[in-house]
Amino acid sequence: MKLYSIPVLALLSAVLFTGTAQSQTIKSSLNPKYDSKVDSILRLMTLDEKVGQMNQYNGFWEVTGPVPKEGDAAIKYEQLRKGLVGSMLNVNGVENVRAVQKIAVEETRLGIPLIIGYDVVHGYKTISPIPLAEAASWDLEAIRKSAEVAAAEAAAAGINWTFAPMVDISRDARWGRVMEGAGEDPYLGSKIAYARVKGFQGDDLKDVNTIAATAKHFAGYGFSESGRDYNTVDVGTSTLYNDILPPFEATVEADVKTFMNSFNLLNGIPATGNSFLQREILKGKWAFKGFIVSDWGSIGEMIPHGFAKDGKQAAELAANAGSDMDMESRLYVEHLTALVNEGKVKESVIDDAVRRILTVKYELGLFDDPYRYCDENRERTETGKPAFQDAVLDMAKKSVVLLKNEKQLLPLKKSGMKIALIGQLAADKDSPLGSWRALGAPNSAVSVVEGMKAYQGNSLEYVEGVKLTEGTPGFAFETKINITDRSGFEAAKTAARNADVVVMVLGEHGFQSGEGRSRAELDLPGLQQELLEEVYKVNPNIVLVLMNGRPLVIDWAVANIPSIVVGWHLGTQSGNALAQVLYGDYNPSGKLPMSFPKNVGQIPVYYNHKSTGRPANPGSDLVFWSHYIDSPNEPMYPFGYGLSYTSFEYSNLKLNSESFAKDGSVTVTIDLKNTGSLTGKETVQLYIRDLYASVARPVRELKDFQQVELKAGESKTLSFQITEKSIGFYDNEGKWIVEPGDFKVFVGGSSKATFEAGFSFQ
C-alpha cells in the first residue's frame, strides 16, 4: 500500500471504518487538519516502521559530522528499502533527492515519503552574508527576505527542511559558531530568530518556495566553556531563562516546525537527554507541535559525556527525554524496538514522536506529492537567478559596519586617485562565502578586487602582500597557520608608497570560523598584523576592511588606522557590496550585534552584564573594585555600535509620565537629526535598567529599536512605548514576573546611549 498515491479520504475511510483500534497514544492535537490522517497511518505501521521514521541518515555524498563507518551505503540503502529511514540529510539536487525519495515511496511497504534536510544556513547556492553579519543590519525585513531567498533556491533543488536558524546567544567570540547566530543579545536575537523562521517557512509550508525551519541548538550551546566547541555548559537559571531561551521561544511563536538539540552538557545533563528542556519547557510550557531532531550523533555522544553507559541506554534516555529523530548515531534504529518490547520506552513515546514527524511531512505537502520539490526545470531556472543576486547584494550592503572614519578617507573619491589594494582576502573569491555555505560553489563570490574594478575613475593596483592560507581549505582544514614568507611585503609597501589611499583587506579565511573552528587568539591570523604595521610606516592613509566570521581583537589598528570597516563574510556579492560601501554608493548603516573585545582576557565581554557589588571606580587609587590591572573593563567597540558617512545628533529625550501601572505604558520620545551632508540610516536603540529587583537585572537591556533614514539636515521625533513587557523578566523558576520599582531608560545609537531618564512602575 503506497500512502501517497491513495487519495487521503479513501485511505481514511479504509482505516477508520475497519474498526481498527483507535490510536493508543494520541493526547493532544498537533494540527487539526492532519491529526486523523496521521493517526490513520500510525495504525498501519509496525513498531519497526515507526522507529524507522525516527531515523535520519546522512546521504552518500557529503558529510557535516564525524562518519561512524565508511562504506556503509549498502546498509543504508537496505534499511531505506525496509522503511527504516524517515529522513535524510546532505542529499542535494533534484536528481539525488528524487533517487532516494523514489526508494522510500515506491519500494517501502507503506511508501511514506522522506523529509530531506540540509544546512541551508545563509543561502543554498546564492550565498547571503553569514548570519552574524546579517544581524548587524538590524533590518528584520531584509533578514526575512534573505531566508526566503535561501528557502526558494533550496526548495527548487529538492530540499524541504533546513537546519537553521541557529538562535544560540553567545558572548564568546572564540567560539567559531558565533558566525551562525545573531550575536549576544536576546532581544535582537529573538526578533531575528522570528524573522528567519518566517523567511524560511513563509505563510504556507506547502508553497514550493518554502521549507521547514529548525531552531537550534536547544539549548545553551553558545555558552560552551572557554569558547571551545562542543564543550561543557554551566549556566545559572537566570541566564538560561532570560538570555538563552527567549530566542527559542520566539521561534515557537513563529510556528517553527522543528528543533535541534545540542551537543553540550547543560548543567551536567546532555541537551539530547534533557527532558527538562525538551519535555517540560519546549513540548510542555511552550506547547511546541513540531519534532525535535538530535544533532549529528549527539545521542551516541551521551556515552563519552559520561551520561549513558552504552548505545542502548543512550537511545532510551534520548527518546524518553523527547528527542524525536536520531541524526546519524543510528542508535534508535538499532535499539528502540527492543527498548519498547522490554518496557523501557513506552510505545506512546514512539507514537508521539512519529505523529510529530508525519504531521510535518503532511504540512510540507509530501503526502500530496512526494516529488513536489523535485522539478529539474525549476532547479535550472531558479538557481542563482538575478532576483536572488539582488537580494543577497542588498543584504550584504546592509550588513557592513563602519567602526572608524577619522580622516574622512571614506567614502573614496571616485576619480583621480591612486588606490593600492592589499591582502590575500581582497582577491579571494572563496572566503566571502564563509562557513556553512551549503552548495555555494568554491570561488564563486565576487572579490573585492572585482568589485572595486567596476569603479574605473581611479587607478587601482592590487598586491597580495602575504598569504593567509595555502592549499584548499575544507572540513579537514588545519587552522593553525604557519606562514613565514614575508617576500610579498616589499611589493605591498611599494604599492602603498605610490598610492593616495591604501585599502587593506585583512581578517579570517571563510573556514577559520564555523563549527569546530574555535580560536584562542582573536588577532589577524598569520603575518597580516605585521604586514599592516609595515605598510602603515610608508603610508598611514589606510582603510582597513576586515573580513571576519566573528569579532576580532584589533587594538593596534584602532589606535593607528584612520578608517575601519567590518566586512564579515558577505556571501556571493561580497565584493560588489564592499565596493559600493567604500565608494559611498551605499552609506553604511550596520551596528555590531556582538561586542568587539579589547583583548581575549576580557571574554566574555558583553553589554548586558550584571553589576558587581564593586562597580567601576576609576577615580580611586585603591585596587579593590571589579577591574583588571592590565586592561580596561570596556570592550573595544560595544554592542549596537556603528557609524555612518553622515552624522546624527540626538536631543530632547522626553517621557510623557514618570510612572505607570498595570496595563499602562510610558511614551518615550527623542529627536534625531541628520547633521551631516549625506542621506543616512540610523538604528535608534532603547535600553532599560531595572535598578533593583528580586533577581538582579543587567546594567542595560535592549528593549526596542527603530531604523530611520534621514536626508542631510532632516530631523524626526521618534516615539517608543514602555510597557510591562519591557520591564518584566523571568525569575529563577522560569516564571515571568513584573515587579514594581524604579527604572532607567537610555536612548541612542549604541548600547552606550547617553540620553537617559527615570521612571517607575507601581
Angstrom CA distances, 248 to 167, 259, 324, 639, stand at: 7, 9, 18, 21
Residue 349 C-alpha cell reads as: 513515546
CA neighbours closer than 13 Å in the CB half-sphere of residue 611: 16
Among 76, 144, 216, 697, binds ligand NOJ (CB under 6 A): 216
**Considering beta carbons, is residue 296 or 730 the nearer one to ligand NOJ?**
296
Q: Is 154 exposed, middle or buried (0-12, 13-18, 19+ CB in 10 A)?
A: buried
Q: Please answer whether residues 538 and 493 qualify as being in contact, where contact means their C-beta atoms are separated by less than 8 angstroms.
A: yes
39 annotated active-site: no
Q: Is 410 exposed, middle or buried (0-12, 13-18, 19+ CB in 10 A)?
A: buried
Strand partners, 505: 545
Among 4, 124, 163, 218, binds ligand NOJ (CB under 6 A): 163
Smallest gap from residue 106 Cβ to ligand NOJ (A): 27
| Closest to 587 measured CA to CA, from 493, 709, 740, 745 | 709
Any residues with CB less than 8 A from the CB of 155 and at least 6 apart, and which? 208, 209, 210, 211, 373
Smallest gap from residue 296 Cβ to ligand NOJ (A): 4
What is the 3 state secondary structure string of 354-398?
A: HHHHHHHHHHCCCCCCCCCCCCHHHHHHHCCCHHHHHHHHHHHHH
| Closest to 548 measured CA to CA, from 121, 137, 130, 123 | 130
Residues 318, 275: Cα–Cα separation, whole Å: 8
H or E element that contains 558 = helix 555-560
**Considering beta carbons, is residue 277 or 499 the nearer one to ligand NOJ?**
277
Angstrom CA distances, 588 to 137, 311, 400, 599, stand at: 9, 52, 6, 26
65 interacts with ligand NOJ by CB under 6 A:
yes
**Considering beta carbons, is residue 514 or 593 the nearer one to ligand NOJ?**
514
Alpha helices, DSSP H, located in 156-217: 186-201
**Considering beta carbons, is residue 294 or 469 the nearer one to ligand NOJ?**
294
Classify strands 115-118 and 269-270 as parallel, antiparallel or unpaired.
unpaired
Residues 511-540 that bind ligand NOJ (CB under 6 A): 515
- What is residue 643's DSSP assignment? B
**Considering beta carbons, is residue 53 or 272 the nearer one to ligand NOJ?**
272
Residue nearest to ligand NOJ (CB): 64
Residues 68-107 that bind ligand NOJ (CB under 6 A): 89
Angstrom CA distances, 34 to 51, 204, 320, 359, 580, stand at: 20, 15, 25, 6, 49
Strand partners, 540: none
Angstrom CA distances, 377 to 149, 383, 433, stand at: 18, 10, 26
Residue 463 φ/ψ, nearest 5 degrees = -135, 135
**Considering beta carbons, is residue 11 or 179 the nearer one to ligand NOJ?**
179
Residues 293, 490: Cα–Cα separation, whole Å: 53
Q: Using CB under 6 A as the criterion, what x/- string covers residues 100-139 for binding ligand NOJ? A: -------------------x--------------------
Strand partners, 667: 721
Smallest gap from residue 222 Cβ to ligand NOJ (A): 12
**Considering beta carbons, is residue 163 or 536 the nearer one to ligand NOJ?**
163
Strand partners, 269: 266
Among 295, 316, 324, 363, binds ligand NOJ (CB under 6 A): 295
Residue 721 φ/ψ, nearest 5 degrees = -105, 130
Among 218, 296, 307, 730, binds ligand NOJ (CB under 6 A): 296
Smallest gap from residue 513 Cβ to ligand NOJ (A): 14
Size of the site for ligand NOJ (CB under 6 A): 9
Only one residue has cell 571589579, namely 626
Angstrom CA distances, 501 to 98, 389, 462, 539, 546, stand at: 54, 30, 12, 8, 16
**Considering beta carbons, is residue 519 or 700 the nearer one to ligand NOJ?**
519
231 interacts with ligand NOJ by CB under 6 A:
no
Q: Is 663 exposed, middle or buried (0-12, 13-18, 19+ CB in 10 A)?
A: exposed
Any residues with CB less than 8 A from the CB of 27 and at least 6 apart, and which? 352
Any residues with CB less than 8 A from the CB of 252 and at least 6 apart, and which? 215, 282, 286, 287, 288
The reply to whether omega before 432 is within 30° of 0 (cis) is no
- What is residue 407's DSSP assignment? T
Residues 15-34 that bind ligand NOJ (CB under 6 A): none
351 interacts with ligand NOJ by CB under 6 A:
no
Among 64, 320, 611, 669, binds ligand NOJ (CB under 6 A): 64
Amino acid at 163: F
**Considering beta carbons, is residue 261 or 726 the nearer one to ligand NOJ?**
261
Smallest gap from residue 327 Cβ to ligand NOJ (A): 7
Q: Please answer whether residues 150 and 129 qualify as being in contact, where contact means their C-beta atoms are separated by less than 8 angstroms.
A: no
Smallest gap from residue 180 Cβ to ligand NOJ (A): 8
Number of H helices, E strands in the chain: 23, 26
Residues 729-748 that bind ligand NOJ (CB under 6 A): none
Q: Please answer whether residues 338 and 9 qualify as being in contact, where contact means their C-beta atoms are separated by less than 8 angstroms.
A: no
**Considering beta carbons, is residue 261 or 444 the nearer one to ligand NOJ?**
261
Name the catalytic one among 39, 168, 243, 295. 295
Interface ranges with ligand NOJ (CB under 6 A): 64-65, 89, 119, 163, 216, 295-296, 515
Residues identified as active-site: 295
